[in-house]
Amino acid sequence: MKQENKAKIKVKQTFPLTIKRMGINGEGVGYFKRQVVFVPGALPGEEVVVEAVKVHPKFTEGRIKKIRKKSEHRIAPPCPVYDQCGGCQLQHVTYSQQLAAKRDILIQSLERYTKIPVETLDIRETIGMDDPWHYRNKSQFQVGQQDGMVIAGLYSLNSHKLIDIPDCIVQQPALNEVLNKVKLILQDFHIPIYDEKKNKGVVKTIVTRVGIATGDIQVVIVTATHELPKKELIAEEIQKRLPNVKSIIHNINPKKTSLIFGDKSLPLAGSETIEERLGEHKYSLSARAFFQLNPEQTVKLYNEVKKAAQLTGKEKVVDAYCGSGTIGLWIGEGAAEIRGMDVIEESIKDARENAKALKIKAVYEVGTAEQWLPKWLKEGWKPDVVIVDPPRTGCDQKLLDTIKKVKPERFVYVSCNPSTLAKDINQLSHFYNIDYIQPVDMFPQTAHVESCALLVRKDQ
């Protein structure tokens, strides 16, 4: 029977398909001969002719050959490399429909990974942006060479071809200018560019970050080697051509890995951090410190966290996966005490400095929540509210087990991945009621869905 299923669709076979919904990566999802077919660029309601590109035992990946019936929400993407780059997935969709689709992706994840009747949940409309372009405050572009010129951009979808992106329309314009000038400086000084295939060369990645409220810019040059040739000259030239660059860092990453940063960062010029402000809050950001990529939406998201936490000034609050302390410090004035933890040492250093600057009573420790929460509990310190903002992989199982033991009154889950949010909520649903989930669009033009979920402890 299994063999029969596998043989139903063949590679390069073309067939008609009606798109039923949008998948978690922004692709269209349809069914042909009872098999799921994922089609990038296809929209719900469209009738398309599809060519099978890859056939897996349980699903098929296809590409559009022809659109027979177009969605009313389809528009022409404004980016010239949209179909090659893969950084955005939804530029061909009207913005209002992107917001509706993101709420739907969240609902699908809850239907798939939880036993909770989703129709009983309060899942709110997605909070969007007034202007959903030029919002990203950080770029991490791989560096390469093409026709003797230094290029920088992203690898094309499902390939290792580097697409040069001199003007990315979801990045802050200042970052595009900085990136283009840094490329020219590397070119002028004949700095060897890293070649992954040959495992030779020096510069791998250029990372730029801008403090949108301050205009401060940080440039990080990531190398495969411990030495960056002519580093003093490079730093001097960057400062001369780009006076807004306040911090120039050399990061060393000799490993063959998808991770951008290595463990060692060396300051080349300026300060080690740049400053950013959200509302009245100032944040000091080092090269590897996590900070939300869309400050305008971050304010909206953090205000949702503040609403969900419902602080009265008496609560003890834990900010797990705290990064440089942004969430905890945003809501900190309403808490009796904030305690946070993160595995990155530089982030904790930043968090401590940020707390001091804001005069907020906070304790920050290097390590994991599952290490620190039981320790604090033994010392008689029990949190009333725990806030988590985990990576895409979701909460660590040990952390979830710790939450089940500690049982804070409120658990506020900030998620950047609806699938792991649903899986983690499912585990906690024996102990907690899901009060509501509020999606927030942090990354317009992409399929990413961020949300803030409030879980309230069930009466014991």
Structural contact between residues 267 and 248, judged by C-beta atoms closer than 8 angstroms: yes
**322 noted as active-site residue:** no
| Residue from 88, 168, 416, 452 carrying the catalytic annotation | 416
Active site residues: 416
